[in-house]
Amino acid sequence: MPDMDVALKDAMQIDGAIGVALVDRSSGMALGVAGGDRNFDLTVAAAANTEVIRAKLRTMEMLGLRENIEDVLITLESQYHLIRPLTGRTGQGLFLYLALNKDRANLALARHQLKRIETGLDI
């Protein structure tokens, strides 16, 4: 099973990948990042997207939905942002955050590849 660094490098091989982070949902801290640049700070994005996941989980609780979130998609004019909570035993409370260039990415394939990366991730 790949460790975190290998999983992040694998995620950066997804067509259109701008950056990826493994994030602790309770603190908003990025445990690991790959990609990004000075104009795209992945640690800031990780912390902010923690609030997105928390809000969705609160909403699901209020609605009595007892399902797991597969992923959350945010579509911008030029980017896709995928947030994928980890469901494996070792990944509870963590999520993968992947930013993609919309012109270069295949969204369906990116979701499939991120799921594969999550399945193989051992933390």
In the chain, DSSP finds a helix count (H) and a strand count (E) of 3, 5
Interval 19-41 mean pLDDT? 94
Place of tokens 């991120």: 114
3-class DSSP state of 82: strand
Alpha carbon 104 to chain centroid, angstroms = 18
For residue 70, give the CATH number of its domain: 3.30.450.30
Q: Read off the pLDDT band of 11 (50, 70, 90).
A: very high
Range of the domain at 56: 4-120
Place of tokens 């908003």: 28
- pLDDT at position 90, please? 64
As beta bridge partners, residue 73 has 82
Q: Which two tokens stand for residue 5?
A: 């660094």
Pairwise CA distance, residues 40 & 122, whole Å = 27
Q: How many domains does the chain have?
A: 1
Between helix 107-120 and helix 4-12 the angle, nearest 10°, is 170
Q: Is 32 within 8 Å of 4 (Cβ atoms)?
A: yes
Whether the pLDDT of residue 1 is over 70: the answer is no
Which tens digits make up the pLDDT trace of 93-102? 999 999 999 9
- pLDDT at position 14, please? 98
Interval 113-123 mean pLDDT? 89
Beta-strand relationship, 17-24 and 79-85: unpaired
Q: Is 7 within 8 Å of 22 (Cβ atoms)?
A: yes
- pLDDT at position 16, please? 97
Which tens digits make up the pLDDT trace of 37-89? 888 999 999 999 999 999 999 999 999 999 999 999 999 999 999 999 998 66
Kindly tell me the sign of the dihedral angle through the C-alpha atoms of 87, 62, 21, 47.
Answer: negative
